[in-house]
Amino acid sequence: MKEQRFDGQVVLVTGAGRGIGRSVAAGLAERGARVYLCARSEDQLEEAVTEITKGGGTASAIAVDVSSEAGVASLFGRIRGEAGRLDVLINNAGVGVFKPLASTTVEEFDHVQNVNVRGAFLCCKAALELMVPQKEGTIINIGSVVSFKGYPDQSAYAASKHALLGLTKSLAVEAQPCGIRVSAILPGGVDTDLITAARPDLDRSGLMQPEDITYTVFYLLGLPKRAAVDQIYIRRGAGTPF
């Protein structure tokens, strides 16, 4: 089968300094996309961009807190100025607080919602300003199994991921007449720092890898324009389901 290519496409991946976001950014760049990597950690971003460019890809790093309206405006202003368009937005930035609800502070709860939900909202809103005039584009929001399930000690995180899925569902209908597809990927156990914090009891050898989610992104981007997928729940193929 011929390898899927994304030559000429401009892509923004948030939370791209490590884990799923970094894998997705590298995979898309390797297949020809011009990728903008966004995260709060400038060091991690620069390291990721160096790896991508050494491999022949085109990538730029922009350190931004996606929960900041001014930061997101600056981020998209740079993309507009340099590339003039945006074909794909991957909302992957996310944080978690994993403790009983009774001991979760208001500040902790608000921080999770601000990054995971407000950040995605701000990026979707800014992306639409570029995509609507183009009459095409793809937005993929990286949710979680806790977008539709509940687990102990994950109330703040689950609330944010449920909200992200709701945002995705509504925007998918709103954006469809403009030729813009909006989907959610809902992974189960992926071997990242976040799951180590959330589920230290899990055997990491049985977890999915970030590149498994990257291939799921490839699938969504490879669909013909006449087809759209609202959400994909991808879970471990062996061991205990998560």
Q: Which CATH number fits domain 10-234: 3.40.718.10, 1.20.1260.10, 3.40.50.20, 3.40.50.720?
A: 3.40.50.720
**What pLDDT does 124 receive?**
98
Q: Does residue 215 carry a catalytic annotation?
A: no
**What pLDDT does 242 receive?**
52
Instruction: Report the predicted TM-score, pTM, of the whole model to 2 decimal places.
Output: 0.93
pLDDT band at 239 (very low <50, low <70, confident <90, very high): low
* Model confidence pLDDT, tens digit, residues 158-217: 999 999 999 999 999 999 999 999 999 999 888 787 777 667 777 777 787 899 999 999
Q: Of 117, 118, 98, whose CA–CA distance to 108 is shortest?
A: 98
**What pLDDT does 171 receive?**
98
Q: Which residue of the set 36, 151, 157, 219 is catalytic?
A: 157
* Model confidence pLDDT, tens digit, residues 101-139: 999 999 999 999 999 999 999 999 999 999 999 999 999
Instruction: Provide the residue ranges of all domains of the chain, joining segments of one domain with +.
Output: 10-234
CA dist 161 and 143 (Å) reads 6
* Model confidence pLDDT, tens digit, residues 25-78: 999 999 999 999 999 988 999 999 999 999 999 999 999 999 999 999 999 999
* DSSP letters spanning 189-234: -B-SHHHHHH-TTS-GGGSB-HHHHHHHHHHHHHS-TT---SEEEE
